[in-house]
Amino acid sequence: MKKLVGHYGAPLLMILPSILLIGIFVYGLLGVNFWTSMTDNHSAAQASGRKPVAFVGLTNYIELLLTEDFRHSLANLVLFTVTFLVGAMAMGFLWAWLLERPLRGGRLFQTIYLFPMAVSFVASGVVWRWLLNSNQGENASGLNRLFQMVGLDFLQNPWWNNITFGIVAIALPAIWQLSGYVMALFLAGFRGVPDELREAARMDGASEWQVYRMVIFPQLTPVLMSAIVIIAHMSLKSFDLIMSISSAAAYQTKVPAVDMFLFKSGFDYANSAAVGAFLLIIIAFLIVPYLVQQHRSRTR
């Protein structure tokens, strides 16, 4: 026992504060959130303790899934995530592929293309709210006005005010802001492939396309998986960009994060916590398999 204390005592004491802080402020609060989501805490009186709160199990989760509004929010979340993910990955990979070889002015372009990532979603949302203005014809502004000026009037559209695909328009500024980050990830992956592998493939008679397809692209799988997880995770909890461009009351751009804000504002803590739990479960389904795969690849 003394040997164990002497061997592990000092390291445990060093990490004990971190363990306590994470245990209380991360896992402890997660537990409180899940508990709140399984109560009938739906009013200000209950939130302030003036009325009792009862345990109702999974009732809040079931009722949320049965409401058309929440299903619409989930559908919007899927649309936003898919558009954001595909757009950011495609744009980022394309620019990384083009910049993989040293080009004149390439560093300057990388800096410019990465710059939007340094801007907050709130600041960029204010600008994009004007660019995505839904007014058309004589009152057009933003992109609709630009289309009008260059004779492409048929491209004018209501953008985020479209009932069915309004959330897709809000994915455009998200793609603009994060595709530079994806480009940086893929560029690092491209430049991490040893030149010896490329030369060996060329000496074996491989064409330039075969070198990329058979040698370089397979080496980018870890980068691809990391980019997918990061972008998908960010899209699932998007809130500030949506609120900066649209509004909490806009049905066409509602997502679960906005629902959580609305429930919390109305002292409906139980449903707000239930929406948060839904988001956590969705994110866990994405991240846990990735972490397991990363652990297995490191222990081989």
Crossing angle for the helix pair 166-191 and 68-99, to the nearest 10 degrees: 30
pLDDT of the residue at 207: 81
* Alpha-carbon span 162 to 173, nearest angstrom: 16
Spacing of C-alpha 17 from chain mean position: 30
pLDDT of the residue at 202: 82
Set out the domains of the chain in order of their start, with CATH numbers: 69-299 (1.10.3720.10)
Structure tokens at 153: 């009037």
* Alpha-carbon span 248 to 254, nearest angstrom: 7
Burial environment of residue 116 by CB neighbours within 10 A (0 to 12, 13 to 18, 19 or more): middle
- Residue whose token pair is 């081989």: 300
3-state SS, residue 39: strand
For the chain, where are the alpha helices, taking DSSP H only?
Answer: 2-22, 29-37, 44-47, 59-66, 68-99, 106-114, 121-131, 142-149, 166-191, 195-203, 208-211, 217-219, 221-236, 240-245, 256-265, 269-299
User: Which residues are within 8 A (CB) of 16 and not within 5 positions of it... i.e. 6 or more apart?
Assistant: none
Q: First vs last Cα of the chain: how many Å apart?
A: 33
- Side-chain half-sphere CA neighbours of 243 within 13 A: 15
Q: What's the per-residue H, E or C state across 41-94?
A: CCCHHHHCCCCCCCECCCHHHHHHHHCHHHHHHHHHHHHHHHHHHHHHHHHHHH
Largest CA distance in the chain: 84
pLDDT in tens, the chain (300 residues): 666 666 666 777 788 888 899 999 989 999 999 999 999 999 988 888 889 999 999 999 999 999 999 999 999 999 999 999 999 999 999 988 888 877 777 778 778 888 888 888 888 888 999 999 888 878 888 888 888 888 888 888 888 888 888 899 999 999 999 998 999 899 888 888 888 888 888 888 878 788 888 888 888 888 888 888 888 888 887 888 999 998 877 888 999 999 999 999 999 999 999 999 999 998 888 888 877 877 777 776
* Alpha-carbon span 287 to 291, nearest angstrom: 6
pLDDT of the residue at 102: 72
pLDDT of the residue at 6: 62
Structure tokens at 157: 């559209």
Q: Are 96 and 187 in contact (CB under 8 A)?
A: yes
